[in-house]
Structure 1
Amino acid sequence: MTTPYKIRTHLATDMETIVRRHGMLYSKEHNFDPHLAASVASQVTTAFLATYDATRERFWVAEAEQQDGTNTFIGCVFLAKDKTETEFPCAKLRLLLVEPAARGMGLGRELIARCTEFAREAGYARIRLWTNSGLGTARRLYEREGYKLLRSEEDDTFGIKLTAEFWEMVL
């Protein structure tokens, strides 16, 4: 059976779409303020491109082919080195996003599984991620993949009060 999407590795030109879609979706679905898009742009996508290491990092983009032959962005995820960790090789899963029209197709599960598989191949000991308690579907996907909740704390970085969560999977 073929999937209704394809997954490829990133192009530098994808970053604008990633920033825009994160800003728009999180604003619409969760009332986040513009700080989210600014953070995605400055702290994640730009930093990823500036120090990209193809042997240890990946960024996947999911696309659906349209009837006219063009491709439409429907999701993404990053796996990057955790540069703050010095004790053991650790990766960060970042920016998992599945567009509303693509939800329920197994895409989120597949993107997370790709991160896990690549992290193992690249020799990481752990993968960490940050999410929030309001993202129930993503949280369930992380838990099914083997992530464990380490801690949670109140956060208002993006203009609303939420419970930030820090998860980790030992590989």
Structure 2
Amino acid sequence: MLDDGITFRKFVATDLDWLVESHAALYAREAGFDDSFGPLVADIARSFLVYHEVATESGWIAEHEGNRLGSIFCVRADRVGFAKLRLFLVLPEARGFGLGQRLLDRCMGFARGVGYEGMILWTHKSHEAACALYAKNGWRCVDERDVHSFGCDLVEQTWEIVF
């Protein structure tokens, strides 16, 4: 399905509904998240559209033949000198073709290129494929704790990489 026809473009306002709906539906189906997750994604994406710093923050949409297949964002973290990876998504029909790696490479390359010292991200232990991808790329899990979020008992993790 995927070939050299994959394009990566900047996230724009017309992607907002797709981004929120895709995250909400996928996480409900695959992880059992309740309907509190979609509004969180919407808040993050809307804030990005209004407040992001063009020189040091970016979001990308992966497409193939006009179909959106995934997303990833690089934003400034609260930790000085670090960026935060956010809203990383690869739709099921696009998995297994290296798209997640390509999105991660784009995000990390951007962060390095604009001078961040490293990156952090927040995820859940149950997202095994994503966690394996992070580990393969030099990220390490630096914290984990049991939480009840989005209607589920989860193990929340913080990962980081120093460039």
**Under TM normalisation by the shorter chain, which class is it?**
over 0.9
CA distance in 1, matches of 2:121, 2:68: 23
State which of 96, 106, 119 in structure 1 corresponds to 2:98.
Answer: 106
TM-score, length-scaled by structure 1? 0.91
Corresponding residue of 1:12: 13
Query: Which of 88, 97, 115 is the aligned partner of 2:107?
Result: 115
1:94 is matched with 86
Match of 2:54 in 1: 54
The aligned residue for residue 130 of structure 2 is 138
State the 1:3 CA deviation: 2.3
Count of residues in correspondence between the two structures: 161
Superposition RMSD on alpha carbons, in Å?
Answer: 1.0
Say whether 1:77 aligns with 2:77. no
Task: Write out per-residue CA displacement over residues 49-80 of structure 1, whole angstroms, 9 at most, x where no aligned residue.
Answer: 12111110110101111xxxxx1111000000
Structure 2: 5+ residue stretches without partners:
none
- TM-score normalised by L of structure 2: 0.95
Which residue does 1:68 correspond to in 2?
none
> Deviations 1:72-114 (Å, cap 9, x if unpaired)?
11100000011x22xx311000111000000011000010111
Q: CA deviation at 1:4?
A: 4.3
* Partner SS for 1:124: coil
Tell me which stretches of 4 or more aligned residues in structure 1 moved more than 3 Å: none
Hey, what's the Cα distance between the residues in 2 that align with 1:160 and 1:147? 25
Where 1:14 maps in the other structure, the secondary structure is helix
